[in-house]
């Protein structure tokens, strides 16, 4: 990633510069921060690259008249602040520190790279958001991918996509590649297998790793490179020794986890996932200079075990971030509140906060597992006092997961150890609160081991309120080590000894103003003012002359000083030793601590769901197997109902595979269509994440994916070539939706000319109806589309009710059967205050357009003449009759006089497709 270090040939190489260059040679792709005194310095190219990012002055280190090295530096105490800037720019930093005391070094001080800080391997609390995961990703591709991909045009289902059969057979899908994801700050470690290039790119966009390693195999596909280009500035292609082969990769993982085979993890030794996982682990261990004992397991998290939400859907549904205008308006902490996360996040602990994000990003798909979460949430929601107690205690439980990681990495600080101690102290009471719970999931969580041994050890060894740093002393409790206690009382008493000596000397010399003092340069001394110089005894040794006083030492004072300093030094050394022992004890409890942290995190999320459910009067959904209906009574939009001042109008929805697969929703602008669509998707998402839902009742057949596509002009956030984006995303839906998916299409087709858009929308609905059969909600301002309900048996029309009153409209925000027969655009324009003359003229033009372009009857209708009864007939026939007969009956039913050219074309298309 970087050019080789430029070194002017004439440069005079001091030993220090030589030491620097040796270090730099080992870390060509990182910015080397080289400790000199109180600064970390950067040289040459590193300095040139880093200075503008760090906003520090680029200077030159003079070496004679004609050569100079560019350099810049940052104060060592502010290192974290500057590291954050380098990381944000996607750079890595190698911290090269002094590893011996400069005062004691003979010649050049020894320096070593103590750690390499990279965006994806952070564990410092100062550099991390406590509520976000921080993932390092390593990706590897099958050698065969190139060939498979080459067989068809890019993205064709047959080319790289999962075959329909593969969808439901985990592990049997041909993997084109895999990604391994590691959070060094928590020890979470998992792999994902990808069946297609899009799936890989989608998954990466969803998981948002901070850093990407290319771990070998074939070159990454273009879609992945494009994603990295856009969203992941730190990419490293592993090479040389770091590039593992499958055998070494498998061995490395087996050694780390102490297992003889990887099959226990559900992995085949030669698959790309193994290569990726080993690469991620090896890289993290190398940069952290640690064995990473807190990385306890490797999970295979199959994409298809969970409800799949692509990045576009998460964005459209505003799950984590507000979109469009809302995003621009909301800043600061208020920003999150207008998202689903903002509404649901009442977690009390950082691990709970991270887990909630994970549950929302990857909701479940197994109705039974979801039901277990619901049961737990409902139980907690019903018991207010218990929930309050639980949440109060959880708030004090802290972040054991990340503290464990710090212990394993050897970077645990005394006050962090105290935080772990205090957190562990809450564990038994937290678990006791749920020990008698009826919900099986709560019972399981209650069975976690609260680690009383570790808690007791922390309580025994640590001071109640330890000092921040080890070199100050005051970290280890009294009574832990008799030797330490002795030194401590010595240093404490020494102050008294010095005072006693002062008193004795005053008496001996008769100088009442004589003072025993201490400073860092001279140590202890006796100060005598000039007026009293005559009375200074002969055995005083002069050390320093001030304007109005002289400073002396005596042999006795020197001896006392040596005792005191030795005792202090010994005391600190012993404290360091005990603290390291304690850190090792914590690290050794990694497995138990990990399990406990996971249990507390899950409990925190369940309690958070319960809190919202109680506050917002959510109901418990009933989960049905995949393919079942989605029936919601009096559903509300979880975010809008909290954000809007007006009372929210609840609405029902009824989607099923037989008669209401596709709901076409028409109605005026501002009628509430987009809100309704999102509310249904959010309720399904919430339910599958384990939350209760804003509805009177809900029965939900689990879905495998939620797709959303928001028409171009509604899509304020993007501003790209919007129609193209719209069509690409729609294509994605048409390729990947299954009969178990939920599809939300909001104003699709809007981004182009009217007839283009209308025809596309028409064809898309037909395709979803005939081929993919996902449950679909389609909001459209093309009221002509509602004619489809007459033609297609599983399409139903709904409209947002409005009341016309005195030339104006009142939005009732209620979804009703039927369709809007006009678009109400003019009414909205009037509401918006357009001059009456303009409105009148527009009405005139509209009348012309409608009469000439759509229909001789003056009504904008495309497929008039289909009585619903006539439509039901062919539907019946489809099931039992040969296709020719169906076509014949459809033809007979059609009234050619009433058919527009477009409708005719569509009819022809549908007839043809029935035949084959
Ligand atoms: P459309 O997509 O039909 O143009 P929107 O869904 O964008 O309409 O809704 C417009 C506004 O109406 C929203 O900003 C929201 O505040 C309000 N709204 C929508 N649905 C409801 C409802 N069910 N109850 C109350 N207010 C609603
Ligand atoms: Mg809308």
pLDDT of residue 275: 93
Pocket-testing residue among 637, 642, 651, 670, ligand 1, by greatest number of atoms within 8 A of Cβ:
670
Name the average pLDDT for the chain.
84
pLDDT of residue 12: 65
Distance CA 484, CA 575 (A): 8
Q: What is the DSSP annotation of 350-385?
A: HHHHHHHHHHHHS-B--HHHHHHHHHHHHHHHH-HH
pLDDT of residue 147: 44
pLDDT at residue 214 tops 60: yes
Name the residue among 450, 406, 445 with its Cα closest to residue 424: 450
Which H or E run contains 235? strand 234-237
Distance CA 786, CA 789 (A): 6
pLDDT at residue 852 tops 50: no
- The model's pTM is 0.78
Can you tell me which atom of ligand 1 is nearest the CA of 669?
4
The tens digit of pLDDT for each residue in 640-674 reads 998 877 799 999 999 999 999 999 999 887 889 99
Pocket-testing residue among 664, 675, 829, ligand 1, by greatest number of atoms within 8 A of Cβ:
675
Distance (angstroms) between ligand 1 centre and the Cα of 675 equals 5
Can you tell me which atom of ligand 1 is nearest the CA of 636?
23
Coil, strand or helix at 524: strand
Separation of CA 769 from chain center: 36
The tens digit of pLDDT for each residue in 30-67 reads 999 999 989 999 999 999 999 999 999 988 765 544 45
Cβ of 506: how many Cβ atoms within 10 Å? 16
CA torsion 123-127-130-132 (nearest 10°) is -90
Of 693-697, 859-863, 879-883, the one with minimum mean pLDDT is: 859-863
Please report which ligand is nearest the Cα atom of 671: 1
> Which residue reads 């058919």 in tokens?
899
Quick one: average pLDDT of 541-555?
92
pLDDT at residue 522 tops 50: yes
Nearest CA, atom 9, ligand 1: 672
pLDDT at residue 330 tops 70: no
pLDDT of residue 631: 97
Quick one: average pLDDT of 486-496?
85
Distance CA 377, CA 430 (A): 16
pLDDT at residue 870 tops 50: no
Separation of CA 583 from chain center: 28
Helices 883-893 and 868-880 cross at an angle (nearest 10°) of: 170
Distance CA 355, CA 381 (A): 19
pLDDT band at 171 (very low <50, low <70, confident <90, very high): very low
Check if 673 has its Cβ closer than 6 Å to any atom of ligand 1.
yes
pLDDT band at 899 (very low <50, low <70, confident <90, very high): confident
% of the chain with per-residue pLDDT over 90:
51
pLDDT band at 867 (very low <50, low <70, confident <90, very high): very low
The tens digit of pLDDT for each residue in 699-710 reads 999 999 999 987
Distance CA 813, CA 802 (A): 7
pLDDT band at 908 (very low <50, low <70, confident <90, very high): confident
Cβ of 302: how many Cβ atoms within 10 Å? 14
Distance (angstroms) between ligand 2 centre and the Cα of 724 equals 20
Please report which ligand is nearest the Cα atom of 714: 2
Extract long-range pairs of 561-566: CB within 8 Å, 24+ residues apart: 561/523, 561/524, 563/490, 563/494, 564/490, 564/491, 564/494, 564/497, 564/498, 564/524, 565/523
pLDDT of residue 334: 52
Please report which ligand is nearest the Cα atom of 811: 1
Hey, which of 258-262, 599-603, 906-910 has the most confident mean pLDDT? Answer: 599-603
| Spatial strand order in the sheet of 59-62 | 59-62, 68-75, 39-43, 31-36, 93-98, 111-117
């Amino acid at each position: 990633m970087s050019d080789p270090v430029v070194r002017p040939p004439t440069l005079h190489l001091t030993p220090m510069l030589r030491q620097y260059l040796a270090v730099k040679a080992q870390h060509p792709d990182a910015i080397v921060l080289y400790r000199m005194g109180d600064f970390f310095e950067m040289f040459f190219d590193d300095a040139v690259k880093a200075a503008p990012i760090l906003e520090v002055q680029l200077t030159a280190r003079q070496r004679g008249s004609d050569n100079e090295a560019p350099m810049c530096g940052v104060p060592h105490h502010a290192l974290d602040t500057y590291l954050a800037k380098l990381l944000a720019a996607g750079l890595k930093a190698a911290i090269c520190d002094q590893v011996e005391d400069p005062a004691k070094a003979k010649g050049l001080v020894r320096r070593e790279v103590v750690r390499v800080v990279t965006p994806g391997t952070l564990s410092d609390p100062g550099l991390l958001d406590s509520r976000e995961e921080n993932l390092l990703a390593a990706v590897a591709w099958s050698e065969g991918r190139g060939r498979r991909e080459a067989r068809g045009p890019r993205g064709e289902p047959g080319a790289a996509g999962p075959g329909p059969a593969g969808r439901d057979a985990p592990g049997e899908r041909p993997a084109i590649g895999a990604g391994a994801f590691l959070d060094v700050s928590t020890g979470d470690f998992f792999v994902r297998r990808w069946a297609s290039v899009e799936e890989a790119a989608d998954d990466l966009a969803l998981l948002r790793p901070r850093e990407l390693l290319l771990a070998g195999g074939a070159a990454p596909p273009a879609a992945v490179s494009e994603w990295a280009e856009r969203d992941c500035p730190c990419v490293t292609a592993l090479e040389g020794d770091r590039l593992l082969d499958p055998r070494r990769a498998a061995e490395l993982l087996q050694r780390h986890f102490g297992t003889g085979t990887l099959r226990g993890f559900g992995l085949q030794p030669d698959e790309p996932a193994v290569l990726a996982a080993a690469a991620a682990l090896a890289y993290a261990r190398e940069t952290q200079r640690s064995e990473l004992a807190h990385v306890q397991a490797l999970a295979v998290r199959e994409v298809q075990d969970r409800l799949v939400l692509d990045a576009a859907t998460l964005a459209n549904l505003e799950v984590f971030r507000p979109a469009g205008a809302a995003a621009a308006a909301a800043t600061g902490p208020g920003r999150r509140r207008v998202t689903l996360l903002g509404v649901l996040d009442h977690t009390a602990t950082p691990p709970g906060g991270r887990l909630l994000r994970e549950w929302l990003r990857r909701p479940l798909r197994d109705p039974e597992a979801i039901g277990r979460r619901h049961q737990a949430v409902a139980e907690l929601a019903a018991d207010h006092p218990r929930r309050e107690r639980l949440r109060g205690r959880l708030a004090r439980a802290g972040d054991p997961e990340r503290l464990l990681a710090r212990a394993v990495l050897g970077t645990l600080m005394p006050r962090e150890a105290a935080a772990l101690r205090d957190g562990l102290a809450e564990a038994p009471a937290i678990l006791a609160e749920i020990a008698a719970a009826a919900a099986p999931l709560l019972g399981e969580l209650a069975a976690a081991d609260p680690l009383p041994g570790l808690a007791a050890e922390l309580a025994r060894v640590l001071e109640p309120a330890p000092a921040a740093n080890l070199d100050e002393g005051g970290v280890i409790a009294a009574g832990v080590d008799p030797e330490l206690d002795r030194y401590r009382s010595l240093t404490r008493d020494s102050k008294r000894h010095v005072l006693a000596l002062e008193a004795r000397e005053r008496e001996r010399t008769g100088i009442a103003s004589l003072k025993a003092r201490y400073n860092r340069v001279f140590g202890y001394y006796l100060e005598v003012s000039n007026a009293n110089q005559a009375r200074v005894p002969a055995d005083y040794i002069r050390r320093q002359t001030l304007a109005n006083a002289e400073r002396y030492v005596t042999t006795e004072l020197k001896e006392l000083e040596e005792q005191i300093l030795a005792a202090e030094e010994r005391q600190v050394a012993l404290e360091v030793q005990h603290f390291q022992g304690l850190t090792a004890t914590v690290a050794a409890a990694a497995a138990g601590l990990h399990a406990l942290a996971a249990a507390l995190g899950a409990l925190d999320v369940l309690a958070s769901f319960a809190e919202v459910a109680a506050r917002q009067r959510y109901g418990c959904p009933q989960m049905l197997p995949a393919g079942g209906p989605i029936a919601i009574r009096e559903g509300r939009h979880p975010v809008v109902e909290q954000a809007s001042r007006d009372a929210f109008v609840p609405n029902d929805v009824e989607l099923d595979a037989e008669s209401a697969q596709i709901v076409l929703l028409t109605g005026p602008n501002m009628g509430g269509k987009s809100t309704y669509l999102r509310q249904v998707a959010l309720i399904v998402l919430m339910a599958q994440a384990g939350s209760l839902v804003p509805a009177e009742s809900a029965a939900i057949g689990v879905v495998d994916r939620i797709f959303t596509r928001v028409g171009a002009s509604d899509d304020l956030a993007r501003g790209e070539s919007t129609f193209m984006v719209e069509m690409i995303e729609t294509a994605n839906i048409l390729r990947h939706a299954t009969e178990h998916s939920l599809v939300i299409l909001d104003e699709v087709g809007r981004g182009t000319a009217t007839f283009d858009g209308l025809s596309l929308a028409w064809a898309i609905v037909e395709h979803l109806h005939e081929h993919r059969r996902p449950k679909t909600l389609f909001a459209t301002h093309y009221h002509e589309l509602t004619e489809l309900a007459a033609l297609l048996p599983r399409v139903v029309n709904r409209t947002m009710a409005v009341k016309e009153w005195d030339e104006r409209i009142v939005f009732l925000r209620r979804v009703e059967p039927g369709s809007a027969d006009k678009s109400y655009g003019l009414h909205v324009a009037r509401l918006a205050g357009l001059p009456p003359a303009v409105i009148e003229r527009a009405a005139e033009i509209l009348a012309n357009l409608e009469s000439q372009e759509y229909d001789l009857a003056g009504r904008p209708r495309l497929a008039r003449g289909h009585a619903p009864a006539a439509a039901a007939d062919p539907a019946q026939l489809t099931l039992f009759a040969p296709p020719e007969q169906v076509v014949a009956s459809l033809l007979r039913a059609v009234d050619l006089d009433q058919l527009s050219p477009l409708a005719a074309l569509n009819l022809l298309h549908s007839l043809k497709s029935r035949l084959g």
